[in-house]
């Protein structure tokens, strides 16, 4: 008897499915096709992105090879192109381009390049902070000391991963501006800061001694 009930139940379910299919089958097919198109589009987009990354990687590596061969002008042009493409290699290329300008003696161009990286809203704060530090390093010899101090101030806050380096550069800028006392205070803080890198603490201690005279 249970077999008969099970067969009847199966027939009812089959009949209901047929009714549903006759009513909504076209919609179901449309949904399936839409999903297939979406998946296909995503796969195509992912493959395109991978292809773009490979091409970007090849251009970046070719620029590195040019730089090693001393072809800095050509390398700089390729780095500039890669940097405009964005992405991970774009960030690296932007830094490489700025570094080439600095090595070529174009401090103004290097500072401008680092400043562009520092204000890029699409980059992680860590990269922007590094660009700020490098910008200040290259601008200090001939630039405005007070402007450098203002640029470094956000990086000297407690909790900043670059606090010690930013403070050291701030002390250099203070010396350039003629504020020997303030510079010495900063160096003393750095010398006493157990969280600062050992080499930096040693340099700061030497400067404290030198500025005591």
Question: Domains (ranges, CATH) in the chain?
Answer: 140-213 (1.25.40)
Which stretches does DSSP call E strand in the chain?
none
Q: Look up the pTM and report it.
A: 0.69
Question: Which structure tokens are listed for 206?
Answer: 């030497």
Q: What is the mean pLDDT of residues 96-123?
A: 87
- The confidence score (pLDDT) of residue 97 equals 86
Percent of the chain predicted with pLDDT > 70 = 72
Spell out the residues 6+ positions from residue 175 whose beta carbon is closer than 8 angstroms to its own.
183
Q: Residue 85: is its pLDDT beyond 80? A: no
| Closest among 53, 63, 124, 69 to 93, alpha carbons compared | 63
Q: What is the mean pLDDT of residues 176-188?
A: 89
- The confidence score (pLDDT) of residue 76 equals 79
């Amino acid at each position: 008897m249970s077999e008969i009930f099970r067969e009847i139940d199966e027939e009812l379910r089959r009949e209901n499915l047929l009714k549903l299919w006759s009513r909504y089958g076209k919609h179901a097919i449309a949904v399936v096709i839409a999903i297939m198109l979406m998946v296909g589009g995503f796969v195509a987009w992912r493959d395109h992105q991978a292809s773009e990354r490979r091409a970007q990687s090849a251009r970046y590596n070719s620029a590195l090879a040019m730089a090693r061969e001393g072809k800095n002008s050509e390398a700089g042009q390729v780095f500039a192109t890669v940097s405009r493409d964005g992405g991970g290699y774009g960030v690296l290329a932007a830094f490489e381009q700025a570094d080439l300008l600095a090595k070529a003696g174009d401090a103004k161009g290097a500072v401008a390049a680092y400043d562009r990286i520092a204000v890029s809203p699409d980059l992680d704060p860590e990269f922007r902070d590094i660009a700020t530090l490098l910008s200040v390093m290259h601008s200090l010899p001939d630039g405005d000391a007070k402007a450098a101090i203002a640029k470094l101030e956000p990086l000297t806050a407690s909790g900043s991963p670059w606090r010690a380096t930013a403070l050291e550069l701030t002390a250099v800028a203070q010396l350039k501006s003629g504020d020997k006392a303030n510079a010495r205070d900063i160096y003393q803080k750095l010398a006493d800061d157990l969280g600062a890198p050992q080499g930096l603490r040693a340099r700061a201690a030497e400067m404290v001694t030198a500025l005591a005279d």
